[in-house]
Chains A and B, each alone.
Chain A
Amino acid sequence: MANQWQSPIDWDAISGAFATATHLNEQLRNNLEWLKSRPFNSASLTTKTTTSASFVEVTESSIAITSVGGNMLIIANGKLSNSAAALTTLDLAIDGARVGDATNGLTRITNPVANYMDCIGMVWFTSTPPSAASHNYSIYWKTNAGTASLLPRLYVMEIR
């Protein structure tokens, strides 16, 4: 079962040096199950649009995951278009705090002509892990003209 990670113990500290069923369940069963079934969540959205010139959260893109304090792998991909020849900028966020550049986000695409479709992919590993708790992960975006359209998927896993 996921989310039952127990910090590996120092067996020198076990009185009598015998591993009890409690030890084995906690240290072997639960930790092996956690390693096999790490905390994970995902979202597959319908097409979303924005005309915002400043970063806003992609509608319905926020997903929650309860982690044990490890590093999170966040992946978003999908197709992007714009009703105008415009620059669209995208980013990922944890609890509403964007992880990319203040202006340029994590990635950006110039649509050379109206309704030109392109692919997007963003990946983020948290080098400073979120605390052991429930956190929200989402996609942010903005456009400098027209109406941007995005058909995204979002995946989050505690990976280490």
Chain B
Amino acid sequence: MAAINQWTAPKSWIGGEVAKAAKLNEQLRDNLTWLKSRPFVAGATGAVTTTSATFVTMTNSTVNLTTTGGYILFWATGYYFNSAGGLGTFDLAIDGLRQGHATFGTTLLQGLLANYNDNLNIMMITGGGAGGSLLAAGAHTCSLQWYVNSGTGNVDLKIFAMELC
């Protein structure tokens, strides 16, 4: 059985060409296996905090994914609260390059009240490269970055990343 991450660009078959086992393994077996088992990684931050007023990498949020150069579905789900009801701002970074807005990141949550819990989802389908270009095939690092405008921000997030196509 082929391992994942063995996608080979589908070839153009020509008239009279004999489909030999090696080509069928490459074109059918390995590519079907890749489509069934696309690159995937999961992680969990556990309960982590920050008081940073500028974007910093969230503790335990880094996951590694080896891709074939396609689009990545990234999703983090969990909750956020702040000891002072402060605003938390969150973003996804791929290979250290944040994907969202320079100030507002991908999403933000206002604490409203001290220690008020709110549902947090951070999601993106991204090429990951500068200007939205696709990432090169290879190993990449996905991580979350965040900051707060006051108090101590608290999260507990589950993280998933998968190459879609």
Contact = CB atoms under 8 A, between A and B. Distances in A.
Contacts of A106: 77-78, 158
A7 B1 contact: yes
Looking at chain B's contact residues, is the secondary structure mostly helix, strand, loop, or mixed? Answer: mixed
A121 B78 CA distance: 9
B162 A112 contact: no
B121 A123 contact: yes
A118 B121 CA distance: 13
Interface string A94-119: 00000011001011111010000011
Given A28-B28, A121-B77, A112 B117 contact: no
B160 A110 contact: no
Which of under 10, 10 to 19, 20 to 34, or 35 or more describes the interface residues of B? Answer: 35 or more
B55 interface: no
A11 B20 CA distance: 8
Interface string B107-123: 00000110111111101
A159 interface: yes
Interface string B35-70: 111101010000000000000000000000000000
B118 A109 contact: yes
A81 B37 CA distance: 39
A108 B117 contact: yes
Nearest to B30: A8
Given A106-B77, A160-B36, A160-B37, A17 B162 contact: no
A127 B30 CA distance: 22
A11 B36 contact: no
Interface of A: 5, 7-12, 14, 17, 19, 27-28, 31, 34-35, 70-71, 87, 100-101, 104, 106-110, 112, 118-125, 127, 159-160
